[in-house]
């Protein structure tokens, strides 16, 4: 990878309002990058930008981004690129409505797919030409173990994450030709706003640790990894259960 070149780089953080996004922005800036914080609540993201810039003495910009309004993504990417310099991408936005709510309202199913999958494909496909032109860089996507197998409890969300993971496999092959790495991080339980207060979670990982793993895994150019790592073992077991039996389980 040509990431080590002397020029100052910028991480585009898509979903910067999440606690993982906040932690990642701080860590990336501490590592010597600038950041673009992309998200919907730009007023609040200004507070994060101030924090990141002050701590690391770097440039931190805020750009409005709504994953669902795909028609604006081309302009969004242009706005980011106008800053100049080489870019890396951390994509972590996502939405997980309750499966029961989705069952009762198809609009929610569309939204779940629209944010987690369509929105990701939309923005990434607009970023790709720029990354290719850079001839190097990193893309990290915070995805979910839920994409490994469809489960009773959250299969619409899971299917969107699963589709995203497949998309990233292909994107990885494409971008490898331009020296751009694509890292898929399949997260287990994270101690974030999304899962806060949900029953039945165990070994919930702090957002700072997740952010650190995302940075480190992508620095190593890893393709696919679980975070925390033991989820690899859990998912190996879950994936090995025959469908005949799995359909009766309520996990």
Partner 1 sequence: MKAKELEITGWGRFPRAKSLALRPEKPAAAAAAVRARPAGGLVAHGGGRSYGDAALNDNGHVLLTRRLDRILAFDPERAELVCEPGLTVTELQDFLIPRGFMLPAVPGTGFATIGGAVANDVHGKNHDRHGSIGDHLRWFELLTADGDFRRAGPEDDPALFAATIGGVGLTGVLITLCIGLLPAPSNAVRVTEMRADNLDHFLRLLTQYRERATYSVGWIDVLARGERFGRGILEIAEPAAESVPVRAGRRVRVPLDMPGFILNRWSIGAMNACYFHRIPALGRDRVVPLGQFFHPLDRVLDWNRMYGRAGFHQFQCVVPDAQAETGIRRLLEAVGESRAGSFLAVLKTMGGAGKGYLSFPMRGFTLALDFPARPGVRELMAALEAITLEHGGRIYLAKDSCLSPDGFARMYPALPELRNVLSRVDPQGVFESDLARRLHIRGDQP
Ligand X SMILES: NC(=O)c1ccc[n+]([C@@H]2O[C@H](COP(=O)([O-])OP(=O)(O)OC[C@H]3O[C@@H](n4cnc5c(N)ncnc54)[C@H](OP(=O)(O)O)[C@@H]3O)[C@@H](O)[C@H]2O)c1
Provide the binding-site residues for partner 1, judged by CB under 8 A: 17, 19, 22, 41, 43-44, 47-48, 50-51, 54-55, 193, 196-198
- Considering beta carbons, is residue 58 or 118 the nearer one to partner 1? 58
- Considering beta carbons, is residue 23 or 127 the nearer one to partner 1? 23
| Min separation Cβ 47 and partner 1, Å | 5
Among the listed residues 18, 53, 23, 9, the one whose alpha carbon sits nearest the alpha carbon of residue 38:
18
Q: Pick what 90 binds: partner 1, ligand X, none; C-beta below 5 to 8 Å, kind-dependent.
A: none
- Considering beta carbons, is residue 26 or 161 the nearer one to partner 1? 26
Contacts of 207 (CB under 8 A, 6+ apart): 18, 19, 20, 22, 23, 190, 191, 192
- Considering beta carbons, is residue 81 or 209 the nearer one to partner 1? 209
Chain residues in the site for ligand X (CB under 6 A) = 15, 17-21, 39-41, 65-68, 92-96, 115, 142, 144, 187, 189-190, 192-195
- State the Cα–Cα distance between residues 121 and 125, nearest whole angstrom: 6
Q: Pick what 40 binds: partner 1, ligand X, none; C-beta below 5 to 8 Å, kind-dependent.
A: ligand X
Tokens 């879950």 locate to 238
Q: Pick what 115 binds: partner 1, ligand X, none; C-beta below 5 to 8 Å, kind-dependent.
A: ligand X
| Min separation Cβ 187 and ligand X, Å | 4
Number of continuous H segments (helices) and E segments (strands) in the chain: 10, 7
Contact of 141 with 168, CB cutoff 8 Å: yes
> If DSSP codes are grouped into helix, strand and coil, which group holds residue 115?
helix
| Min separation Cβ 2 and ligand X, Å | 28
Compute the chain's Rg from CA coordinates. Answer: 18
Q: What is the DSSP letter of 119?
A: I
- Considering beta carbons, is residue 128 or 141 the nearer one to ligand X? 141
């Amino acid at each position: 990878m040509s990431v080590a070149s002397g020029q100052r780089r910028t991480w585009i953080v898509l979903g910067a309002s999440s606690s993982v996004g906040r932690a990642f922005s701080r860590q990336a800036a501490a590592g010597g990058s600038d950041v673009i914080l992309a998200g919907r609540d730009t007023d609040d993201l200004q507070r994060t930008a101030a924090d990141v810039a002050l701590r690391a003495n770097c440039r931190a910009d805020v750009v409005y981004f709504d994953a669902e309004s795909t028609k604006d993504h081309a302009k969004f990417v242009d706005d980011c690129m106008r800053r100049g310099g080489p870019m890396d991408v951390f994509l972590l936005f996502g939405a997980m409505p309750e499966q029961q709510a989705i069952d009762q309202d198809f609009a929610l199913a569309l939204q779940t797919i629209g944010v987690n999958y369509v929105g990701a494909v939309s923005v990434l496909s607009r970023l790709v030409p720029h990354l290719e032109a850079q001839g190097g860089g990193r893309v990290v996507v915070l995805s979910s173990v839920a994409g490994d197998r469809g489960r009773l409890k959250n299969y619409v969300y899971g299917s969107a994450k699963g589709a995203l993971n497949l998309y990233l496999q292909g994107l990885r092959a494409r971008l490898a030709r331009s020296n751009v790495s694509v890292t898929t991080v399949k997260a287990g339980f994270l101690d974030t706003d999304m899962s806060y207060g949900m029953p039945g979670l165990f070994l919930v990982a702090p957002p700072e640790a997740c952010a650190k793993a995302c940075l480190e895994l992508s620095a190593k150019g890893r393709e696919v990894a679980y975070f925390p790592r033991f989820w690899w073992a859990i998912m190996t077991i879950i994936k090995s259960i025959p469908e005949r039996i799995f359909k009766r389980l309520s996990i």
